[in-house]
Amino acid sequence: MTDSVIMTGFGSPRAAFFGAAREALGAPALVLCASYLGFGSLIRSTDLPLATGLASTVTGWALPGQIAMVELWAVGASLLSIGLAVALTNVRLFPMTLALMPHLRAPGTPRWRYYAACHLVAVTGWVRSMQRCPTLPAAERLPFLVGFSGFLWVATTLATALGFWLAGLVPPAVSLGLVFLNPIYFMLVLSADIRQRSRAWAMAFGAVAGPIAHLVSPEWGLLGAGLVAGSLAFGLDRWLAASRADAGGKRS
């Protein structure tokens, strides 16, 4: 954390929890719930039981992996294939968790709370927490993540059930379109916080690498593009920072 970060807070961990839930109540909840309405409809259209859809949201809570599960089940894939596909789709959450956890640590917090909170690290909550947690007192950071992502977790579980029950009332194309609101919203949120140079590079490299990688391998293109674009952005950012430091040292 740099000295330029202004520390602001809610006043207490409890206030941080409820304040984060209120922040999630607006656009984040609307977009995610709309996406999960589409997912619930998708569950119904593939003749999967509601319990399966709810279980995937409660235990997985990562829409790309959940969609992969449904699509593979619909074509008769084996449980091993489905499990591997979901694991590979959701492996992106691991580096996101590693990047966020240093911002959540607070003295005296039991370690098990961090392990439990890892389940709530998903794209929307991760982006918001990466923006807000560095500006909060240490004791309020974990409650903020739990309040923000926990509210969305419960809301999307309910939206899954509602989408299942409302299936058939809207055209299938509309239901499928709702699913894609989430990545669009994610891109808009990142664009609003583009001041960090490494994020700008990652988005630029990803925009170029994504379509190319998909043409090369539709199955592995997204994973490969993310790995290449992220690595290039990280390396370029470090190289530029080192170059400026060297230039500053020579001038002094």
| Model pLDDT for residues 125-145, shown as the tens digit of each residue | 998 998 899 899 999 999 999
Domain count of the fold of the chain: 2
Q: Are 25 and 152 in contact (CB under 8 A)?
A: no
Do 33 and 125 lie in one domain? The reply is yes
Residue 148 and residue 95 share a domain: yes
The answer to whether residue 5 is domain-embedded is no
pTM above 0.85, yes or no: no
Tell me the C-alpha distance between 113 and 101, whole Å. 11
What percentage of residues in the chain have a pLDDT greater than 70? 81
Confidence bin at 191 (pLDDT 50/70/90): low
At 247 the pLDDT is 66
Residues 74 and 187 in one domain: yes
Q: What is the pLDDT of residues 42-52, one digit of tens each?
A: 888 888 899 99
- How large a percentage of the chain has pLDDT more than 90? 28
Q: What pLDDT is recorded for position 2?
A: 40
Where is the domain boundary, 193, 218, 239?
193
- Looking at the fold, whether 227 and 136 belong to one and the same domain comes out as no
248 and 187 within one domain: no
pLDDT score of 251 more than 80? no
Rounded distance between C-alpha atoms, residue 104 and residue 141, angstroms: 5
Whether residues 168 and 87 share a domain: the answer is yes
Query: Per-residue pLDDT tens for 7-59?
Result: 578 989 999 999 999 999 988 898 888 889 888 888 888 888 999 999 999 99
Query: What one-letter code names the amino acid at 59?
Result: T
Confidence label for 170 from pLDDT (cuts 50, 70 and 90):
low
Rounded Cα gap, residues 140 and 11, in angstroms: 8
Cα separation values, 231 from 11, 120, 196, 220, Å: 38, 25, 16, 17
Examine the domain organization and report whether 99 and 24 are in the same domain.
yes
- Assess whether 157 and 228 both reside in one domain: no
Domain containing 111 equals 13-193
110 backbone dihedrals φ, ψ, rounded to 5°: -60, 140
- Give residues with Cβ within 8 angstroms of 183, minimum separation 6: none
